[in-house]
Amino acid sequence: MFSSATEEWSTPQHIFDQLDREFHFTLDPCATPENAKCEKFFTKEDNGLHQLWNGETVFMNPPYGRVISRWVQKAYLSGNKEDTIVVCLLPARTDTKWFHKWCVNGDIWFIKGRLKFGGSKNAAPFPSMIVVFPKNWRDVVHPPIMRRKEE
């Protein structure tokens, strides 16, 4: 699992559950039938890059290989439409072009420590982060008049 033989890193369930409590996801665009996190999902054959994400609250854990830049670009462009929020679980590769072109325009949360993907006993060989598009997602999820007191 920790070699370049695979680009797929199954989302740790506790990470998804914690995010889902806040966002209430409706679409997983990078899934297999076995690891889909939402009722509505796209598989590799469906090619989520070519599907519309409009009007959805998206949880995206993309393939981590060379195509990751295209997925992050799609997340940024989709998440900056009025009716769409995209939450991304990504490797924290702050030295990459895709990080500086797309991620810096989102709300970034770095995850302390390293995640254990897919029920693995070993932690991943890289740090992870959550990136939310649009950056002002709180205004979309909780409009100012509806915000909780602690915000």
Parse the chain into domains and list their residue ranges. 13-141
- As a whole number, mean pLDDT of residues 115-128 equals 74
pLDDT of residue 12: 82
Residues whose CB falls within 8 Å of the CB of residue 129, separated by 6 or more in sequence, listed in order: 89, 90, 91, 92, 103, 108, 109, 110, 111
pLDDT in tens, 33-79: 988 999 999 999 999 999 999 999 999 999 888 899 999 999 999 99
Beta-carbon count within 10 A of 34 CB? 6
On average, the pLDDT of the chain sits at 85
pLDDT of residue 11: 83
Interatomic CA distance for residues 150 and 39, integer angstroms: 31
pLDDT of residue 138: 75
Domain 13-141 class in CATH? alpha beta
